[in-house]
Structure 1
Amino acid sequence: MKKQADYIKRIEIKGLWGRRKNISWDLRPDVNILSGINGIGKSTILNNTVHMLDILEGRALTNNSQPGVSFVFSPEDATYVHFDVIRSFDRPLIDSGLLEKIGNQNVKSELDWQLYQLQRRYLDYQVNIGNRIIELLTSGMPDGQAKAAEVSFPKTKFQNLVDKLFSETGKKIIRKSNEIQFEQDGDILSPYQLSSGEKQMLVILLTVLVQDNQNYTLFMDEPEISLHVEWQQQLISLIRSLNPNVQIILTTHSPAVIMNGWLDAVTEVSDITT
């Protein structure tokens, strides 16, 4: 029987890059930052890890050409972990079949595609918290109203965070809309009309929000791309303010990402390679 882990305690990879290189990385439950020079294998380690987790969750088939990857979870009798992966590289979508399937002319890049998927998850999230709020308000419990307010707080916090981040350009989330939309100088904007940096930050924060404060692991490969240096500095604290139960595993070249108290969370690839 499958049991979900709270977080990953250790990642072990044998035979990386087709050579006699092994990785053994002990992880923190909160933040883990993988650093190193270009070409040393940060993205390769992340990609192989995610591929094996896909296999454990049944999202991908076993690929015998991949190096051996194994995990130690917490608790140790768990067999898989719930996770998300955020890709920051905003390349144009070239899959004509996917574009035809989407049927939305505004979805033109990889960030657009992530936003398109997140819009659906955001709607599901709102339905779930709406049902919980109704249940609490009609429960007859003396603290039902207070508990209902707690359930809706993360969504309000997300909206406040985004409004603050986008305040210099005058964009605000339209709070009465079930979908993510923005108002700017009287005009209504879809998320696909945002800048690359704004899209990227929205993707990250929406991904964290829709996990609904559950334990899970978030992988990010160089999330600083397209982000202003001030947003880079705030990134980790923003994520953890929305969900303190998330385990973050990321690669980065940016000193700004680790400046706000995360230097101890940095691991060099050379230190975990044998």
Structure 2
Amino acid sequence: MKIESLKIENVGGISSLSIEKFDPKLNIICGENGIGKTNILDSIAHCFSQLSNFILKRKSNCVNGYITIVCDFNRIEPYTCLIESFEPRDYNQNPYDFRSKLLANFDSNYSNLIYFKTERLFSHKWISSLEIYDEVENHLKNLDGVSIQLAKDWFIKNELLSSQPYTNDNDKNSIELAKKAFGILNKSYSFSALKQDMEIYINTPTGIIPYEYLSSGFKTCITIVWGIIREVQVRFPDIFVKDFNGVVLIDEIELHLHPEWQGKICNALTTLFPNIQFIISTHSPHVIQTAEANEVIALSRKNGHLEKRTLDIAPYGFKGWTVEEILTDVMGMRDTRTEWFRSKQKEFDNALDANDVLNANKIFNELRLKLHPSSTDLALSRFQLDMLNGRYK
């Protein structure tokens, strides 16, 4: 399954949005805070959800909201989800239930979507007895996101069973792929062993440690990689995860990642899972810096109406762009400098125009202390000051 286009009308804070074409492999949604990136992911998940208590709301003061999705299996009859205005009389009443109609329309394709929300960290968990039964229904709550509650039990169970002759090849391959999660962004880390104390140990440059004591960046990667593998294994036990041809949504993919890792995460995921269509949101220029032109969905907004901006300035992608160029031309930042710098630069220019040597020297000394030693702005200011001081005639 691949999502091909999306249209949203009066849902959440979005009055209208039309994305005519998604890339079949990777889609990076970016835009300012509050523009609706998470709302877009929620809207997609809403159309592929079952057994969830989460209810997406239509926009305030609107009669109804609509989400229309075209996938590679419903091109002729796109599915439109109605978000009604009816309000429940009490908290236990579902104000609308479209899921029976949804499942009849989409058949079993709701199983092909996996959603990662922003909660990806975990703490140490003592294992006294394994919870080994995963109910399929518990893995279809796409609006709630992938649960990490039994991830450790899942890994231990599969590692223990991997050496047994009756374990099928799919499960063996899945646990081997899960072990790679520890080193996908830093090869100096790797799986060490599962010991009798039921702890998962990891080789690190400073020694062997339980996996829960890895950094938050490692935990984020583990949650995503293990989550995909586990969801596919539970939902489709006869399919090897690398053959899974579905959709994965990830909200704010850069969370807890060092900028260097932000620039690696998309390539790592698309390499590990070559048949998955990823639709992610981000605030990170380092994530966008690794993208092809057709993989970036840069949003702009006017009165609640969103549109995908045309990025004709980058027909061959962003892999040669600087972070500053992406921040200004893709992400819409007015200036990458701080307000303090802009204010001081204006004061310095005014002093130059007024031939105020004393004040110009004072402001330059402030700039010299706070700008990077190799700054071209500092070099230019020094030259201008020398001209004002009469050192060049």
Q: How does 1:5-24 map to 2 (within 5 A)?
A: 6-17=1-12, 20-24=15-19
Question: 1:192 pairs with 204, 207, 212, which one?
Answer: 212
Structure 2 residue 149 is the aligned partner of structure 1 residue 116: yes
What is the TM-score when the length of structure 2 is the normalising length? 0.49
- Corresponding residue number in structure 1 for 2:268: 238
State which drifts further: 180-189 or 233-242: 180-189
Separation of aligned partners in 2, 1:91 and 1:162: 15
Deviation at 1:253, TM superposition (A): 1.5
Change in CA separation of 1:88 and 1:118 when aligned onto 2, cut-off 3 Å: same
Higher relative contact order by CA 8 Å / sep ≥ 6: 1 or 2? 1
CA RMSD of aligned residues (A): 3.9
What letter matches 1:181 in structure 2?
A: I
- Corresponding residue number in structure 2 for 1:203: 223
- Corresponding residue number in structure 2 for 1:87: 117
- Corresponding residue number in structure 1 for 2:51: 59
Q: Contact (CA 8 Å) 1:51, 1:60: kept in 2 or not?
A: no
Instruction: For residues 58-92 of structure 1, give each alpha carbon's deviation from its aligned partner in whole angstroms, at most 9, with x where no partner exists.
Output: 22268473432221121227713422222335689
Change in CA separation of 1:180 and 1:232 when aligned onto 2, cut-off 3 Å: farther
Change in CA separation of 1:265 and 1:154 when aligned onto 2, cut-off 3 Å: same
Deviation at 1:174, TM superposition (A): 2.7
Change in CA separation of 1:71 and 1:122 when aligned onto 2, cut-off 3 Å: farther
Separation of aligned partners in 1, 2:161 and 2:177: 17
What letter matches 1:31 in structure 2?
A: L
- Corresponding residue number in structure 1 for 2:45: 50
Q: Contact (CA 8 Å) 1:35, 1:251: kept in 2 or not?
A: yes
Change in CA separation of 1:201 and 1:164 when aligned onto 2, cut-off 3 Å: closer
Question: 2:71 pairs with 73, 84, 87, which one?
Answer: 73
- Corresponding residue number in structure 2 for 1:99: none
Change in CA separation of 1:92 and 1:152 when aligned onto 2, cut-off 3 Å: closer
Deviation at 1:218, TM superposition (A): 0.9
Separation of aligned partners in 2, 1:151 and 1:19: 42
Structure ID, larger Rg: 2
Separation of aligned partners in 1, 2:167 and 2:178: 23
What letter matches 1:28 in structure 2?
A: D
Change in CA separation of 1:35 and 1:62 when aligned onto 2, cut-off 3 Å: closer
Deviation at 1:53, TM superposition (A): 2.0
Q: Which runs of 5+ in 1 are unaligned?
A: 1-5, 94-101, 105-112, 137-147
Question: 1:174 pairs with 176, 186, 192, which one?
Answer: 192
Question: 1:221 pairs with 251, 268, 286, which one?
Answer: 251
Instruction: For residues 85-135 of structure 1, give each alpha carbon's deviation from its aligned partner in whole angstroms, at most 9, with x where no partner exists.
Output: 223356899xxxxxxxx988xxxxxxxx9543333444676699878x858
Instruction: For residues 165-223 of structure 1, give each alpha carbon's deviation from its aligned partner in whole angstroms, at most 9, with x where no partner exists.
Output: 4555xx4313456977123566541x332221110011122123333221121111111
Separation of aligned partners in 2, 1:162 and 1:130: 21
Change in CA separation of 1:180 and 1:84 when aligned onto 2, cut-off 3 Å: farther
Q: Which runs of 5+ in 2 are unaligned?
A: 59-64, 78-104, 128-145, 233-240, 308-393
Separation of aligned partners in 1, 2:289 and 2:157: 35
Separation of aligned partners in 1, 2:209 and 2:122: 24
- Corresponding residue number in structure 2 for 1:143: none
Change in CA separation of 1:208 and 1:15 when aligned onto 2, cut-off 3 Å: same
Q: Contact (CA 8 Å) 1:174, 1:180: kept in 2 or not?
A: no
Change in CA separation of 1:159 and 1:91 when aligned onto 2, cut-off 3 Å: closer
Deviation at 1:19, TM superposition (A): 6.5
Separation of aligned partners in 2, 1:128 and 1:59: 30
Change in CA separation of 1:62 and 1:70 when aligned onto 2, cut-off 3 Å: farther
- Corresponding residue number in structure 1 for 2:23: 28
Percentage of pairs with the same residue: 20
Separation of aligned partners in 2, 1:18 and 1:266: 22
- Secondary structure at the residue paired with 1:37? coil
Q: Contact (CA 8 Å) 1:86, 1:219: kept in 2 or not?
A: yes
Separation of aligned partners in 2, 1:92 and 1:160: 19
- Corresponding residue number in structure 1 for 2:306: 273
Change in CA separation of 1:172 and 1:63 when aligned onto 2, cut-off 3 Å: closer
What is the TM-score when the length of structure 1 is the normalising length? 0.68
- Secondary structure at the residue paired with 1:27? coil
What letter matches 1:162 in structure 2?
A: F
Q: Contact (CA 8 Å) 1:32, 1:267: kept in 2 or not?
A: yes
Change in CA separation of 1:240 and 1:22 when aligned onto 2, cut-off 3 Å: closer
